[in-house]
Amino acid sequence: MDDADYISEFEELLKIKEFSQNSKMKVPLDCTYELIAKALKDEYIENIDEKIRRWVNITHIMYFENVKPVTYYLQSKMLFRDGFYEASIALSRTVCEMICYNLLSKTPHPFGDLELIEVPIFRVFVNFLAVPKQIKRSIFEKHIIAKIDRLDDKNFIKSSYEVDKSTNSYNFKIACGQKKSSLERFFEIFKKVLQRY
């Protein structure tokens, strides 16, 4: 479809809007309505084999939880199937954000209630969610703390977790995830530990 076709289709939308606002334009309204309806029907039927093939290829998970992110995830897949790639990409980003917000609504976090967050800092949320909240005691002591060279980094990680004897694990202190700089430091330290693992 070239630029002229897009402009032509948009002109039809402008016409039907204009006709719908004037009761004397019923005949032009009906004709334009039929023209748009036929174009949409033909567009949907066009390349139906390719659309079904895309649908088959992108359908992997057969079980879904009934939550908003999943609804939008399915909508994004349907857009992709029908060839609306840009809309699918834009919606996918929204899905990612909604998944994070859905997780945040079930996780104690230092940012306050979601209703109070007017301008959420998406990357800070993602980093907060990614910090391990519970680490087995043996892994924490032998595979994390023991592999940190710098004393101040070692103390930083130790002070950010507290031991839970009932589960024999270390739990993340939620208040330690309030600052962007702290979260970035966590990942820098964990990255070095993983390189030595």
Q: What is the mean pLDDT of the chain?
A: 77
At residue 164 the predicted structure's pLDDT band, cuts being 50, 70 and 90, is very high
Last residue of a domain, one of 12, 29, 46: 46
Global confidence as pTM: 0.43
- Per mean pLDDT, which range of 58-62, 67-71, 128-132, 135-139 is the poorest? 58-62
Which pLDDT belongs to residue 7? Answer: 62
Which residue spans within 4-149 are E strands per DSSP? 134-136
105-111 — which CB contacts under 8 Å span 24+ positions? 107/133, 108/174, 109/174, 109/177, 110/174, 110/175, 110/177, 110/178, 111/178
Q: Which of 28, 46, 64 corresponds to the end of one domain?
A: 46
How far CA 155 is from CA of 105, 131, 152, 159, in Å, comes to: 30, 17, 5, 6
Three-state secondary structure readout of 115-150: HHCCCCCHHHHHHHHHCCCEEEHHHHHHHHHHHCCC
124: in domain: no
Domains: count for the chain? 2
pLDDT at 56: 67
Answer whether residue 185 is part of any domain: yes
- The more confident residue out of 22 and 59 is 22
Domain contains 70: no
Question: Quick check: is 126 in a domain?
Answer: no
Give the residue from 11, 29, 46 where a domain finishes. 46
The tens digit of pLDDT for each residue in 32-69 reads: 888 878 877 776 666 677 777 776 666 666 666 677 76
Task: Give the range of the structural domain holding residue 35, as residue numbers without chain letter.
Answer: 1-46
**Structure tokens belonging to residue 188:** 């820098």
Report in angstroms the alpha-carbon separations of 152 from 64, 141, 148, 157, 184: 44, 16, 9, 9, 15
116 confidence band (pLDDT: 50, 70, 90)? very low
Cβ–Cβ contacts within 10 Å for residue 69, how many?
19
Q: For the chain, how far is it from start to end, CA to CA, in angstroms?
A: 54
